[in-house]
């Protein structure tokens, strides 16, 4: 009997919230299945590409979800490549890859949100099948990609408005087994920083993908490399190496995986501007700043100075908002500092 994965005919499952359809797999070699998760919201069809590679030997399931933010290209490109680079005969277990989740944002070059409903998908997990476009996207990924996984990578690449130092991120320590496994994944990705966020994101609309996954008991990390809407090869390679390193650390592939970084483990926080105006940063990416140091100037529309902005503590600058638009209380820097 055909499973839903292998049926040559379109399978339609009528669920209480509407119609969910699994398309027949498009086989492009043994054990490599390419298809879409689909659903309908109002008059729009939601389509999320999904590739599943099944190894010739048993092992864990790693899910790679890229393009939650559709304009973060290095992570998306790395996800597109990895599904065609890994061969089933070298794989133990299963690799699930969503090359780009938020296709409307990718196509419209939209930063941070899904243009269909203006929501940030990375604040919408685990999703809601009865919500709007973004909620349904998140729900599809959570139900059909995250569930059944042994680890999940939430792959980002710096948005259009930001430049950043590559880092892996996770929530504050909870001390449990899942937390320990998140840290191991974060170290395995081999980036300059592994950060824990000082303050949880506002969860009123939902969680970021990795926090929602971790809350369900599955280890998951956020990974960032890239920025400013650029598809640059250096950051694509950083993600590809990270994917392989994580797979090797889970025992899914053999990989010599030499480390390039002595990862610094830090707390991360965001510094915000206090007034609206035009902001001119005066520090560089990766720079170490000291408490009270000048880190930029805010001016008004006439070029007159409103405020010299000072560092709130000793820290590394790991992300800079590179657009000069400064709205009161908006983020201007992401910083990292030693654990207390």
CB of 236 vs Zn ion, minimal distance in Å: 16
Q: Mapping DSSP to helix (H, G, I), strand (E, B) and coil, where does residue 281 land? A: strand
The size of the interface with Zn ion (CB under 5 A), counted in residues, is: 3
Any long-range contacts for 293-300 (C-beta under 8 Å, 24+ apart)?
295/271, 295/333, 296/332, 298/273, 298/326
Token pair, residue 220, equals 């998951």
Interaction between residue 239 and Zn ion (CB under 5 A): no
Torsion of CA 121, 72, 326, 166, to 10 degrees: 110
Nearer to Zn ion, 52 or 72 (CB): 72
Nearer to Zn ion, 156 or 183 (CB): 156
CB of 139 vs Zn ion, minimal distance in Å: 19
- CA–centroid distance for 33 within its chain: 23
Nearer to Zn ion, 103 or 253 (CB): 103
Q: Does residue 169 contact residue 238 with C-beta atoms inside 8 Å?
A: no
CB of 156 vs Zn ion, minimal distance in Å: 4
CA-wise closest residue to 139 among 207, 218, 220: 207
Nearer to Zn ion, 20 or 197 (CB): 197
CB of 159 vs Zn ion, minimal distance in Å: 5
CB of 243 vs Zn ion, minimal distance in Å: 17
Tell me which residues in 273-292 interact with Zn ion (CB under 5 A): none
Is there a cis peptide before residue 280, judged by omega within 30 degrees of 0? Answer: no
Nearer to Zn ion, 72 or 77 (CB): 72
**Measured between alpha carbons, how far is 101 from 47 in angstroms, rounded to an integer?**
8
Q: Mapping DSSP to helix (H, G, I), strand (E, B) and coil, where does residue 215 land? A: helix
The DSSP H or E segment spanning 22 is strand 18-22
Q: Mapping DSSP to helix (H, G, I), strand (E, B) and coil, where does residue 199 land? A: coil
Nearer to Zn ion, 59 or 227 (CB): 227
Nearer to Zn ion, 123 or 183 (CB): 123
**Measured between alpha carbons, how far is 168 from 162 in angstroms, rounded to an integer?**
16
Q: Using CB under 5 A as the criterion, what x/- string covers residues 53-72 for binding Zn ion?
A: ----------------x--x
Q: What share of residues in the chain are helix, strand, coil (percent, to 5)?
A: 20, 35, 40
Nearer to Zn ion, 55 or 157 (CB): 157
CB of 303 vs Zn ion, minimal distance in Å: 32
CA-wise closest residue to 239 among 167, 181, 182, 180: 167
Q: Using CB under 5 A as the criterion, what x/- string covers residues 143-162 for binding Zn ion?
A: -------------x------
Tell me which residues in 293-322 interact with Zn ion (CB under 5 A): none
CB of 186 vs Zn ion, minimal distance in Å: 16
**Measured between alpha carbons, how far is 26 from 6 in angstroms, rounded to an integer?**
9
CB of 125 vs Zn ion, minimal distance in Å: 13
Give the phi and the psi of residue 79 in degrees, each rounded to 5.
-65, -40
Tell me which residues in 69-98 interact with Zn ion (CB under 5 A): 69, 72
Give the footprint of Zn ion on this chain (CB under 5 A).
69, 72, 156
């Amino acid at each position: 009997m055909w499973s839903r994965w292998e049926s040559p005919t379109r399978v339609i499952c009528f669920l209480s919230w509407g119609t969910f359809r699994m398309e027949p797999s498009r086989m492009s070699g043994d054990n490599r299945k390419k298809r879409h998760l689909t659903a309908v919201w109002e008059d729009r069809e939601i389509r999320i590409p999904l590739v599943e590679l099944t190894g010739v030997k048993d092992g864990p399931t790693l899910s790679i979800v890229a393009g939650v933010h559709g304009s973060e290209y290095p992570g998306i490109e790395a996800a597109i490549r990895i599904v065609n680079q890994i061969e089933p005969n070298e794989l133990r277990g299963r690799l699930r890859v969503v090359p780009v989740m938020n296709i409307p944002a990718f196509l419209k070059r939209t930063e941070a949100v899904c243009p269909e409903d203006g929501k940030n998908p990375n604040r919408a997990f685990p999703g809601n099948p009865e919500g709007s476009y973004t909620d349904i996207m998140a729900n599809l990924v959570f139900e059909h990609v995250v569930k059944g996984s042994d680890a999940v990578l939430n792959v980002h690449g710096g948005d259009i408005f930001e430049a950043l130092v590559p880092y892996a991120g996770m929530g504050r320590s909870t001390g449990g087994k899942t937390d320990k496994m998140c840290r191991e994944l974060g170290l395995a990705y081999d980036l300059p920083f592994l950060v824990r966020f000082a303050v949880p994101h506002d969860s009123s609309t939902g969680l970021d993908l990795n926090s929602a996954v971790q809350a369900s008991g599955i280890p998951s990390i956020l990974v960032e490399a890239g920025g400013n809407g650029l598809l640059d090869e250096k950051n694509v390679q950083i993600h590809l190496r990270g994917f392989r390193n994580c797979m090797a650390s889970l025992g899914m592939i053999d990989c010599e995986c030499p480390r390039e970084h002595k990862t610094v483990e830090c707390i991360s926080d965001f510094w915000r501007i206090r007034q609206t105006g035009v902001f001119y940063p005066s520090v560089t990416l990766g720079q170490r700043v000291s408490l009270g140091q000048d880190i930029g100037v805010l001016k008004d529309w006439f070029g007159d100075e409103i405020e010299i902005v000072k560092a709130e503590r000793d820290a590394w600058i790991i992300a800079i908002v590179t657009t000069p638009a400064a709205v009161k209380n908006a983020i201007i820097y992401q910083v990292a500092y030693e654990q207390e």
